[in-house]
Amino acid sequence: MAIRKKATKAKAKVSIKSKAASKKVVKLKSKKPAAKAKASNGMPKPSSKPFGKDGKALDGVRILDFTHVQSGPTCTQLLAWFGADVIKVERPGVGDITRGQLVDVKGADSLYFTMLNHNKRSITIDSKHPQGKRVLDELIKKCDVLVENFAPGALDRMGLTWEHIHKLNPRMVVASVKGFGPGPYEDCKVYENVAQCAGGSASTTGFRDGPPLVTGAQIGDSGTGLHLALGIVAALYQRNRTGRGQKVLAAMQDGVLNLARVKLRDQQRLKAGPLTEYSQYGEGIPFGDSVPRAGNDSGGGQPGWILKCKGWETDPNAYIYFITQAPVWGAICDLIGEPTWKTDEGYATPKARLPKLKAIFGRIEQWTMTKTKFEVMNLCNAVDIPVGPILSMKEIAEEPSLRKTGTVVEVDHPVRGKYLTVGNPIKMSDSISEVKRSPLLGEHTDEILSKVLGFEKNEVAKIKASGALSAPEKKEKAA
């Protein structure tokens, strides 16, 4: 990988120098990196360093990050947490549009931007300027992966076609998020909720008698970013064998559909008869020819519903998700004070309960309304009944256990001060994620030009003077 090659070259240079100085015959060091010690089974020898002390999973991988808004940045942020060196290319003067969206602290990058761009470096380049193109070509040669989520065709219009990239660097993986895959909608621009609607999520979310609903979880943007990250890591793994990069595409419609997979399952089950686990069945309402909205029914075979808890009259989140899982039916009956339901023929089996689920949940709710959601959680979990308290974002932000695991992290930013973010949700024992603040616009431009690309000082000055790295007003002055 780029970093390792550079180190080898440097070693060779040192050897040549010392030869000239001493005029003695000095054996040149091999340009080939020393073969890693192998264990007897042919595998690399395990590290002798303690777990978590031997770098990160993607150390040595360099990413040319052309992403913006949410889907692409989610992907590259994950790769950065795994140790990749992520170089975010931004339009001079403006940067990623989210820097200035939903601003809460005047003059500071928005939380929208900071929470999606940790652990990255930022360089500003006008990708349509001849000198900007030159810098980009050099970056392509030095990076392992290019990630982008521009509108369809935008990368080609910059001159960065697959052929151009592959010619410069045949090992480069070129990864894209698009709204749709090849087909009638491939040229469309797409945002989160468009994808939720086109991927089958909205039509199956909400209540039967209401309109389709989008969800709060960003399954179109962040969900697709996650899919893309997996594609990139798999492509890098394959490259170890083939020596060749490849294109990776994650379409948002496909990503959402993948997450709504159980609903396509239900679509096909409809041919075999009504979906008995949907409360609609128990209420005697006929099914149409496509999967209906299921309200708060559980997506699995165990009936579930959201029930009120103590304080629901004033607290919009005093609710709990309650699952009447068959193996713990007896425990539920005891807990709510209906022990006869354990043996009563009308209640004892899941089949017998199906037509009266609404009434059963009504009875359970009478009990949950006498307790807080946390009391219900404790009482139920003590006897293995799965329940889910509806946690507000305030409660999540203040939850000590999430702080302890690094899932919720406090970060300091030079302009906005301290803020909370979500850390890496994927924990690895030998690759520990640290959350570092997002970069200011163009903060690392100089260091990338000199240290990554090896441009001399006068060359950097020349590129800067061309206006390829600065906002339009500065360009005018430079002209």
Q: Which residues are catalytic?
A: 221
Token pair in block for residue 417: 């001060």
Tell me which of 56, 65, 71, 297 binds ligand COA, using CB under 6 A. Answer: 71
Sign of the dihedral defined by the CA atoms of residues 198, 204, 210, 215, in that order: negative
Tell me which of 6, 9, 31, 189 binds ligand COA, using CB under 6 A. Answer: 189
Closer CB to ligand COA, residue 188 or residue 460? 188
Q: Binding segment for ligand COA among 149-157, 255-263, 343-351, 357-365 (CB under 6 A)?
A: 149-157
Q: Does 244 bind ligand COA (CB under 6 A)?
A: no
Q: Does 128 bind ligand COA (CB under 6 A)?
A: yes
Token pair in block for residue 240: 């170890």
Token pair in block for residue 298: 């559980």
Q: Does 64 bind ligand COA (CB under 6 A)?
A: no
Query: Which residues are CB-contacts of 449 (< 8 A; sequence separation ≥ 6)?
Result: 123, 135, 455, 459, 460, 463
Please report the beta strands in 48-162, taking only residues with DSSP state E, as ranges in sequence order.
Answer: 62-66, 85-90, 120-124, 145-148
Give one DSSP letter per residue of 203-249, joined into a string.
Answer: GGSS-TTS-----SS-TTHHHHHHHHHHHHHHHHHHHHHH----EEE
Euclidean distance between CA atoms 366 and 308, whole angstroms? 8
Q: Does 115 bind ligand COA (CB under 6 A)?
A: no
User: How many residues at the interface with ligand COA, by CB under 6 A?
Assistant: 23
Q: Does 353 bind ligand COA (CB under 6 A)?
A: no
Token pair in block for residue 357: 């689920």
DSSP 107: T
Tell me which of 190, 248, 452, 469 binds ligand COA, using CB under 6 A. Answer: 190
Site for ligand COA, residues 210 to 239, rule: CB under 6 A: 221
Which of 225, 136, 255 lies closest to 426 in space, CA to CA? 225
DSSP 38: B
- Binding-site string for ligand COA from residue 89 to residue 108, where x marks contact by CB under 6 A and - marks none: x-x-----------------
Closer CB to ligand COA, residue 135 or residue 409? 135
Q: Does 151 bind ligand COA (CB under 6 A)?
A: yes
Closer CB to ligand COA, residue 193 or residue 302? 193
Q: Which strands sit side by side in the sheet containing 145-148, from one edge to the other?
A: 120-124, 85-90, 62-66, 145-148, 173-178, 247-251
Residue with tokens 């928005």: 110
- Residue with the CB atom nearest ligand COA in the bound state: 151
Token pair in block for residue 144: 């392992």
Q: Does 403 bind ligand COA (CB under 6 A)?
A: no
Question: What is the closest distance, in whole angstroms, from the C-beta atom of residue 305 to ligand COA in the complex?
Answer: 33
Which of 367, 382, 358 lies closest to 296 in space, CA to CA? 358
Tell me which of 6, 9, 31, 157 binds ligand COA, using CB under 6 A. Answer: 157
Closer CB to ligand COA, residue 224 or residue 431? 224
Q: Does 70 bind ligand COA (CB under 6 A)?
A: yes
Closer CB to ligand COA, residue 146 or residue 364? 146
Q: Which residues bind ligand COA (CB under 6 A)?
A: 69-72, 89, 91, 125-128, 149-151, 154, 157-158, 177-179, 189-191, 221
